[in-house]
């Protein structure tokens, strides 16, 4: 059993870096999903009004 510990000690840093990578990517994807949801909710709450051009102001008079 004592011959296994060097292999385990060699794999722990790689597993730690892999876990940190997974954690960062998971949070990035989750943040993107929440940002897209907030953006779509804001778009639904604030409908876009058509832009008023210089020419259309004179037509109202």
At 44-55, the pLDDT tens digits run: 999 888 777 777
Mean pLDDT of all residues in 11-40: 98
Is pTM beyond 0.85 here? no
Q: What percent of the chain has pLDDT over 70?
A: 90
| Res. 1 pLDDT band, cuts 50 70 90 | confident
Cα 21 from Cα 6, distance rounded (Å): 24
Cα 9 from Cα 21, distance rounded (Å): 19
Q: Which of 14, 36, 17, 37 is nearest to 25 (CA)?
A: 17
């Amino acid at each position: 059993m004592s011959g296994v510990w060097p292999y385990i000690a060699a794999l722990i840093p790689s597993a730690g870096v892999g876990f940190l990578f997974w954690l960062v990517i998971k949070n990035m994807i989750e943040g993107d999903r929440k940002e897209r949801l907030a953006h779509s909710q804001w778009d639904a709450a604030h409908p876009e009004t058509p832009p008023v051009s210089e020419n259309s102001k004179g037509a109202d008079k």
